[in-house]
Chain A
Amino acid sequence: MFRSSVPLRWRRYAERYRLIGNKCKKCGNVHYPKVEICEKCGSKELEEYKLKPYGKLLSFSEVYSPTEEFSAYAPYCVGIIQLEEGPKILAMIADVKKEDLKIGMKLKACFRKLYKDGNNGVIHYGLKFTPYF
């Protein structure tokens, strides 16, 4: 599996683990993941920005037929979350049954294991989202 490459994942650690995106210096628009050109005003002057780990659920699904990496975890829930500062991201939803998910509910990011490359391979981590009240 060529995608068990360590640097392939390592170069995204800051963005993934700490929600580092970027913010336009001209209009203040926030992006996650990072963009090269501001989606709102077209400026190329952007600076790193740490997003707040809170958002709301825009849509969700429960996956029964996963890719190879996630075969051991099905069924599991994924959702699209709109973060408080605007950007939308796709992530797994943790610690909750599908039946308890509602579009519009508040979620916060939590640091979790995503999958592992077999018994001797790398363990991959990232953010999942979980309900908070």
Chain B
Amino acid sequence: MKALAAIIGIGITKFGEHWNKGIKELLAEAQLKALEDSGISEKDIQQIYVANMCADSLSGQLHLGSIASQILGINVPSYRVEAACASGGVAINAAINALRHKDIVLVSGVEKMTDVDTAKVTTALMGAGNEEWEEFHGATFPALYALMANAYMHEFGFAEEKFREILSKIAVKNHKHASKNPFAQFPREITLQQANNASIVAYPLRLFDCSPISDGAAALVLCKPELAKKFCDNPVYVVASAVATDTLALAERESLTSLKATRLAANDALNQAGISIKDINVFEVHDCFTIAELIAMEDLGIAERGKASKLIEEEQTYYDASIPINPSGGLKAFGHAVGATGIKQAVELTKQLRNEAYCQVENAEFALSHNVGGSGGTAAVHIYARRLL
């Protein structure tokens, strides 16, 4: 097994409503924590990738590369990466590619979403969809995933009430995980009844099916794997980094109930690592909506098509069960600070592989993160290893 990079430092802010912090403060907190965790000096950072989706539409701010390097008082090349909600995963992929030429690279992600009202955020997020053929026709992001959910329910013959319970169980599980995580936006449990009866956002999706609007930032210090032991005793290795794309609009895809970009990126990643999906001990998947977690389980190969609900009903995806999914709380309950989400997944999985997680999965050797842009126009899959076998 060949490592592509080593994670030698992690930093993250709490996700949630940070009224007193802007883009710069959030990014600074995550970046400085990551540097402190790695023990290296800011002067050792040779390049920066900063992931962000909405700074221009919500804060009137572009040019985040400059902000990210200014925070550290350095003048290195610094790039903003945007791939909607997959910005973070794609930035990690770009940073790993940069390690061919650089020794140490910082990758960070930030989103500041709570300065404006919900309709404005909904509009900004639809930038991840097709403006001319989806947003123009009244679609919202919840509506796109609702269309997938309704198509899924129909294709696999679920009664509506039964399907409602399955989606709710995913939310209940992710809130249970978040309840132990002080960095989560909603560190509290919810009941099945609350989820079942919450207000409708876009039929059949209700409030607790949807990830929240969040502020937050996360950062990683990556280095060439052969240098890792020089800087720290417990590096986590990235052994696969894959990105795949598909059509921007949902309607133009082959299927409404499966994301081709996820399937392609997952296959690529598992091939790079030379392992099977069954070898993965812990997952952070892109549950922007509960239905997205269900579909991701099938597209990643955890469950067969149409069968993922069985694992949910048997409660097999809790952190202390056989297939731990989203022990951080997921996007649903940890929060979804869009540009930071892909980086946050890597931070949380690094904690798992260092035995520092709040919902710690025992004896995990391999971890997988799955980050989706829009309704499936981009997917990034990374695999992490505790040690190189």
Nearest B residue to A67 by beta-carbon distance?
B123
Interface centre among A58, A65, A90 (most CB of B within 10 A): A90
A68 lies within 8 A of B120 (CB)? yes
CA A58 to CA B149, docked complex, whole Å: 12
Encode A65-103 as 1/0 by CB contact (under 8 A) with B: 111111101001011100000011111100000100001
CA A92 to CA B143, docked complex, whole Å: 11
A61 lies within 8 A of B118 (CB)? no
CA A3 to CA B126, docked complex, whole Å: 13
Question: DSSP majority for the B interface?
Answer: helix
B123 lies within 8 A of A92 (CB)? no
- A3: chain B residues within 8 A (beta carbon): 131
Check A47 for interface membership: any CB of B closer than 8 A: no
Check A62 for interface membership: any CB of B closer than 8 A: yes
- A62: chain B residues within 8 A (beta carbon): 200, 202-203
Check B249 for interface membership: any CB of A closer than 8 A: yes
Interface size class of B (residues with CB under 8 A): 35 or more
CA A87 to CA B251, docked complex, whole Å: 8
A59 lies within 8 A of B256 (CB)? yes
| Shortest Cβ gap from B219 to chain A (Å) | 31
Check B133 for interface membership: any CB of A closer than 8 A: yes
CA A64 to CA B119, docked complex, whole Å: 11
Interface size class of A (residues with CB under 8 A): 35 or more
Encode B110-137 as 1/0 by CB contact (under 8 A) with A: 0000000011101100100001111111
Check B233 for interface membership: any CB of A closer than 8 A: no
| Shortest Cβ gap from B106 to chain A (Å) | 33
A59 lies within 8 A of B147 (CB)? yes
Check A28 for interface membership: any CB of B closer than 8 A: no
A67 lies within 8 A of B119 (CB)? yes
Check A124 for interface membership: any CB of B closer than 8 A: yes
Question: Given A33-B133, A124-B136, are A63 and B202 neighbors across the interface (CB < 8 Å)?
Answer: yes
B147 lies within 8 A of A66 (CB)? no
CA A78 to CA B250, docked complex, whole Å: 13
Check B151 for interface membership: any CB of A closer than 8 A: yes
Check B161 for interface membership: any CB of A closer than 8 A: no
Check A12 for interface membership: any CB of B closer than 8 A: yes
Nearest B residue to A79 by beta-carbon distance?
B147
Residues on A facing B (Cβ under 8 Å):
3, 9, 12, 33, 58-71, 73, 76, 78-80, 87-92, 98, 103, 114-115, 124, 126
With A60-B150, A64-B201, A88-B252 given, name 10 new contacts (CB 8 A): A12-B132, A58-B151, A58-B256, A59-B147, A63-B139, A67-B123, A67-B126, A78-B147, A80-B251, A88-B251
Nearest 5 CB-CB pairings of A with B: A61-B146, A59-B151, A62-B203, A88-B251, A67-B123
A-B contact pairs, 14 of them (CB 8 A): A12-B132, A59-B256, A61-B204, A62-B203, A63-B142, A64-B200, A66-B122, A67-B119, A88-B251, A90-B137, A90-B139, A92-B137, A92-B138, A98-B203
